[in-house]
Structure 1
Amino acid sequence: MPPTGKEAALLGVGGVVGVSLAAWRTLFPWIGYDLPILKLGRKYGKKTMTDALNGHFLVDLFEISAKNNPKKPFIIFQDRIFTYEFMNEQACRVANIVLQMGLKLGDTVAILVSNEPAFVWTFLGLQKIGVAVALLNTNNKHKPLLHSIEISEAKVLIVGQGSDLFQNVDDIKQELRIPVYLMGTGIGEAPVGYQSWDQLMLSAPHAEISRTMRSGMNLLTPCCYIYTSGTTGLPKPAIINQTKALGMSKFLYLGGLEHDDIVYTVTPLYHSAAILALFTTMDCGSTMLLRTKFSAHHYFEDCRRHNVTVIQYIGELCRYLLAVPEHPKDKVHKIKVAVGNGLRKDIWEKFKDRFNIPQIVEFFGASEGTAATFNVNGRVGACGRLSPLLSKLHPSGMAIIKYDRLKDAPYRDKNNRCLPVEFGEPGLFIAGIPEFYKDKFYKGPQEVNEKKVLRNVFKDGDSFFNFGDLMYMDKDYFIYFQDRVGDTFRWKGENVSTNEVANILTSMDFIHDANVYGVTVPGHDGRAGMAALHLNEREKLTKERLKQIYDHSSENLPSYARPLFLRLEEQTRVTVTFKQHKVDLVKEGYDPSIISDPLYYLSNDAKTYVPLDASSFGSMLKSRL
């Protein structure tokens, strides 16, 4: 909803002068909601600017914390304490190793490492000489993994401990053209074709690295690449330059993070959510409690044992915690704030009340995006604010515009202009693109970047970043997430590309086409994958074929991307422009009472797809999905 004429006038420079706070609140009741985020934004925006002006980049912030508090715990992992001093020494070993390899500022190293301290010190060591770090998704394998490595232009691949990680790399080893180093070999030799990272670390000096080794670093120098899946079907490396990294290092301050706080992170470190927490922890000089994998049953036990004060979540995580039977000690902890994204309105208050969480800070953003929004007011279900004042404070503006779901595109009027939504109307969230982005959000071909840009939105020559998310706004200018649009949906806290899943399915020689989409499941956040299949002529979906689909999906897709439901159609549904038609399929879902086509669901117990009909529908909903 755009500001009225009165609002627009008073939001101008001339109108602001001489207007008291009381007058503002009388004229604009919503202005009071802006004050907390304005106060925080001013404080930490100033700190970010000061860091930049002083030439302090992300790794400098860590080094300052290590110098000021060398013996303080930085990482707590598996009941072991890793101090700032120790982590810095390990990072220096990494830096000295890669210097000996001849790597330098501007090069890239890919790391495939699970949650462990080695991830952090490897990342920091590479940053000490200005090497960008490609943070590979540990769930990926085969083509997505190979693509992720190749598109990053990494000169070296470092693989963490674990047989699964090694196997996934070994499957593509013949196609890799870069050296591969393995963690976890100890003093033993690495397998043929690999090199031992452990042996290098044991012999490397931990002498501090001079800042001159990264003297050419600037605000546009890539810090790391965080992979995101999208409409192209393969992971895309979002560019996190030093400017964005500095901004990310102030993230948890919105929840009041202080020097003595302990932050609990269970999300994968290759994911932007965990990276936000890690960056802020090292800037603040706080402590991070790190866990290999999330465990709902041990979550609050960990919080109590380690005196956690700040927790970080994704929405599904909170739902899993609520699913654990109530415990007398649910409210016994020192948590002061939960910060994250994806906490849905239906469980917000349940989560807050059951576990006695004093404050929840919900945010919205994207690794490759040009803006973020924050709800520091505690408005249930909201992921931020988009008041006339806040939208003007963004360097290039933010808006929610009308969206045509049938055309799967922004609505444009007779003048080919986009229109802002009314209060309560779902629309597409967009944000202006600051000039320094140069329309470059991902590393790779420019045509991939161009797909995220909307041009001539409100006037000739303007450009906006398309987040691909539908939002709506209430009359107080709080905004709420509605849904994903286009060819991606979200399940288990991860974005799933329908094209990637469809490509995997249609690589099977008996499947002619696969139309993949997301469907809602009671009691679960996001949308689960469903595929409408059209088989080749004379093919039938036998038990053997269903088992083959299960095995093929399990081998080639991460667990969150595998279709939970299958629908067998005689013909693929397409629009008049020969695009797959999903709207009716999404509406019909997987209800056997209204669908005559054969339906199947993924059974983890049977390790195959089994028929879904009226008699099995109830038990399916109660099963492990």
Structure 2
Amino acid sequence: MWVVLLIIASIIIYLIKSGWLDILKKTYKRDLRAVHRFTRLNWTLRCWQQRQLTVVKRFLEVTKKHPEKVAFRFEDDVWTFRQVDEYSNKVANYFKQEGFVRGETVALYLESRPEYVCLWLGLSKIGVVTALINTNLVSDPFVHSVQVAESKAIIYGSGYSETITNVSKKLSGLKLYQFHEDLKKPLLNGSVDLRAKLEESSPNYVKDIAEGKTRDKVLYIYTSGTTGLPKAAVITNVRYFMLTMGVYSMSSMTEDDVVYDPLPLYHSAGGILGVGQCLLNGLTVAIRKKFSASNFWKDCIKYRCTAAQYIGETCRYILASTKDDKEHDGHSVKIIYGNGLRPQIWTKFVTTFNIEEVYEFYGATEGNTNLINIDSTPGAIGFVPRYAHLLYPVALVKCDSLTGEPIRNENGCCIHCKPNEAGVLFGKINHKKAFFSFSGYADPKATQKKIVQNVFKKGDFYFNSGDILEYDDYGYYYFKDRTGDTFRWKGENVSTSEIEAVISNTVELKDAVVFGVEVPHTEGKAGMVAIVDLTETLNINELSEGLRAHLPGYAIPLFVRVMHSVPMTGTYKLKKKELRDDGYDLNKVTDKIYFYNSKEKQYVRFTPELYEKLKEGKLSL
């Protein structure tokens, strides 16, 4: 008896001296809530996998439950679950008639609208995978995205006819289906009028649905990497379940909520975490063609939304565009969820707009290092109790601060970071569990590059997120930076090597290096390019035209530094770290610097006056 009491007393003394007692007192409610929700989530996923459910099969269950409930709102249109089911049946029956078979891929290049969802949902009913192409992509990046997924056809909106025309020779042999958002647009030669064909197609039940399996591919969603071109991340049914249900189960949302989704449907945020709430859980989702900060609260009021999505800069844009209380007075939004809400504006945003709950989450489209903040702790992207890493095996490992490469000890193993110590986030791969599986990309080589072996013991495998994070004593995680040659700007991942490739084709025989730089009052990093112009022949307008023609708007560098000297390493590489440290600081840099005027769509000389406006947050970016 005395031995037992002595042991208990020793444990209590240890907890008090080590600070664990204070930690447990602060976090036990959070952790108990997380255990309950996570258990419910795992049970749901396990049951769905045992039943071999697919996104389509689950959607049919939801539709059967309430066929006349509103599934989507879009502008002034209303789509019920029955209408979504019937329209997607038309898609399935038509493309089956066209000869498409299970396992083939069709590329989708269309603006956000309910038909967008119906198109990929219908293709999924016959087992055809849909590659969701970023509508900002043009030229070679667009061609690459179509080809890397081995697409057999392209469904494109009439508003993107010019892009299709410009790349038609490089994509010869592919079937083209033009979906008219604007009926006044002419039909391109060689294209099928898809809207007209679907009107004639049968809305009857599709028998092929029964053949679908939980681990079948549903979508390809593209993510930028250090390779310079978009990578097609594989989204299986179970992956779609995990992402959608992860947010739903770990939050307080119910099927009675109405979600405002103003995000692009080719992204996992809008296309899975938003739309998925409708397809899998029966919520009503309001879709917007393109995000508008000035219309955010007007739409939320119009559609009576109770939950809304955000990503990156959108919250800052909404704050900046709201001039008075009347613009948001009367909205019903109590929950917001997304990623990238900056700590600097977190509190101001929730107090200004009376938001009760913020579910900030972290996770790559293809990755297994998913985290979520379930108690609205400002700035935190999620949490893992420090005593629960065996149950949820994500790890922060020490890494080289410049390259992001993990540091190993004398035994060849990676080293765990301590609280408040920055490191790269790894997630243990276990294909037997949905949360910890890693489906990778369409390109096997790209998949292998994200896998690290022998991390903590011989034979283990981990997914390398490529992101630098920190965690505190309470297990809350905070985002710090991205490793490698990718940075995040305006909610998009930007590849420096992709931009460098475009520049080398635009201004030949000039060394150039691209990197991200921090900009006051913004989230992420803006692009900056340093170009060596020893002959003083750089045409800044020609550079601007070339970048606009071959890059999406978010990837065009905000700054251009024109150099006359060449800071080289011993291996004849431009010293990116020194250039990044100098940035666009006119107190450090004597070279000419140009600033991209997004309204005029051209570069202008970056003057001390513009520099001061930038620091004050008065420049349009």
Same fold flag (TM > 0.5): yes
Q: For 2:438 and 2:242, locate their aligned partners in 1 and report how far apart those are by CA, in whole Å.
A: 19
Q: For 1:310 and 1:96, locate their aligned partners in 2 and report how far apart those are by CA, in whole Å.
A: 35
**3-state DSSP class of the match of 2:561?**
strand
Q: How many residues align?
A: 594
Q: For 1:285 and 1:607, locate their aligned partners in 2 and report how far apart those are by CA, in whole Å.
A: 43
- Residues 258-277 of structure 1: pairs in structure 2 closer than 5 A: 258-274=254-270, 275-277=272-274
- The residue number in structure 2 matching 1:244 is 239
- The residue number in structure 1 matching 2:283 is 286
Distance apart, 1:609 and its partner CA: 1.5
1:89-117 Cα distance to aligned partner (Å, 9 max, x none) = 10000000111012122111111111111
- Residues 87-126 of structure 1: pairs in structure 2 closer than 5 A: 87-126=84-123
On the 8 A contact 1:248/1:280 being kept in 2, the answer is: no
| Percent identical | 33
- Equivalent of residue 447 in structure 1, options 445, 461, 480: 445
- The residue number in structure 2 matching 1:380 is 378
Residue 134 in structure 1 maps to residue 131 in structure 2:
yes
Residue 421 in structure 1 maps to residue 417 in structure 2:
yes
- Equivalent of residue 575 in structure 2, options 572, 578, 581: 581
Distance apart, 1:605 and its partner CA: 4.4
- The residue number in structure 1 matching 2:214 is 219
**3-state DSSP class of the match of 2:95?**
helix
| Gaps in structure 2 of 5+ consecutive residues | 1-6, 12-19
Q: Once superposed, what is the RMSD of the aligned Cα atoms?
A: 2.2
On the 8 A contact 2:113/2:288 being kept in 1, the answer is: yes
1:593-620 Cα distance to aligned partner (Å, 9 max, x none) = 1112221111234432222232442245
- Residues 322-341 of structure 1: pairs in structure 2 closer than 5 A: 322-329=319-326, 330-341=328-339
- Residues 15-414 of structure 1: pairs in structure 2 closer than 5 A: 28-29=24-25, 30-162=27-159, 165-176=160-171, 177-184=173-180, 190-210=187-207, 213-250=208-245, 251-274=247-270, 275-329=272-326, 330-394=328-392, 397-414=393-410
On the 8 A contact 1:252/1:339 being kept in 2, the answer is: no
On the 8 A contact 1:187/1:198 being kept in 2, the answer is: no
- The residue number in structure 1 matching 2:498 is 500
**3-state DSSP class of the match of 1:378?**
coil
Q: 1:490 to 1:389 in 2, by over 3 A?
A: same
- AA partner of residue 223 (structure 2): T
Q: For 1:573 and 1:240, locate their aligned partners in 2 and report how far apart those are by CA, in whole Å.
A: 43
- Residues 558-569 of structure 1: pairs in structure 2 closer than 5 A: 558-569=552-563
- AA partner of residue 514 (structure 1): A
1:372-405 Cα distance to aligned partner (Å, 9 max, x none) = 11110111100111223442223xx210111212
Stretch deviating more after TM superposition (459-468 or 250-259): 250-259
Q: For 1:232 and 1:239, locate their aligned partners in 2 and report how far apart those are by CA, in whole Å.
A: 17
Distance apart, 1:488 and its partner CA: 0.3
On the 8 A contact 1:442/1:449 being kept in 2, the answer is: yes
Q: 1:187 to 1:512 in 2, by over 3 A?
A: closer
- The residue number in structure 1 matching 2:483 is 485
Q: For 2:305 and 2:499, locate their aligned partners in 1 and report how far apart those are by CA, in whole Å.
A: 39
- The residue number in structure 2 matching 1:599 is 593
Q: For 1:75 and 1:594, locate their aligned partners in 2 and report how far apart those are by CA, in whole Å.
A: 53
- AA partner of residue 57 (structure 2): D
Q: 1:620 to 1:25 in 2, by over 3 A?
A: closer
Residue 551 in structure 1 maps to residue 533 in structure 2:
no
Q: For 1:204 and 1:339, locate their aligned partners in 2 and report how far apart those are by CA, in whole Å.
A: 38
On the 8 A contact 1:511/1:533 being kept in 2, the answer is: no
Stretch deviating more after TM superposition (485-494 or 279-288): 279-288
- The residue number in structure 2 matching 1:435 is 431
Q: For 2:608 and 2:584, locate their aligned partners in 1 and report how far apart those are by CA, in whole Å.
A: 11
- The residue number in structure 2 matching 1:4 is none
Distance apart, 1:254 and its partner CA: 2.5
Q: 1:186 to 1:603 in 2, by over 3 A?
A: closer
1:456-494 Cα distance to aligned partner (Å, 9 max, x none) = 221222221111111011110100001111110000000
Distance apart, 1:305 and its partner CA: 1.7
On the 8 A contact 1:518/1:530 being kept in 2, the answer is: yes
Stretch deviating more after TM superposition (435-444 or 188-197): 435-444
**3-state DSSP class of the match of 1:174?**
coil
Q: 1:370 to 1:325 in 2, by over 3 A?
A: closer
**3-state DSSP class of the match of 1:435?**
coil
Q: For 2:439 and 2:288, locate their aligned partners in 1 and report how far apart those are by CA, in whole Å.
A: 34
Q: TM-score, normalised by structure 2?
A: 0.91
Q: 1:365 to 1:125 in 2, by over 3 A?
A: same
| Gaps in structure 1 of 5+ consecutive residues | 1-8, 16-23
Q: 1:96 to 1:512 in 2, by over 3 A?
A: same
Q: For 1:612 and 1:103, locate their aligned partners in 2 and report how far apart those are by CA, in whole Å.
A: 54
Q: For 2:242 and 2:184, locate their aligned partners in 1 and report how far apart those are by CA, in whole Å.
A: 40
**3-state DSSP class of the match of 2:99?**
coil
Q: 1:26 to 1:342 in 2, by over 3 A?
A: closer
**3-state DSSP class of the match of 2:467?**
strand
Q: 1:225 to 1:389 in 2, by over 3 A?
A: farther
- AA partner of residue 607 (structure 1): K
- AA partner of residue 313 (structure 1): Y
- AA partner of residue 253 (structure 1): S
Distance apart, 1:57 and its partner CA: 1.1
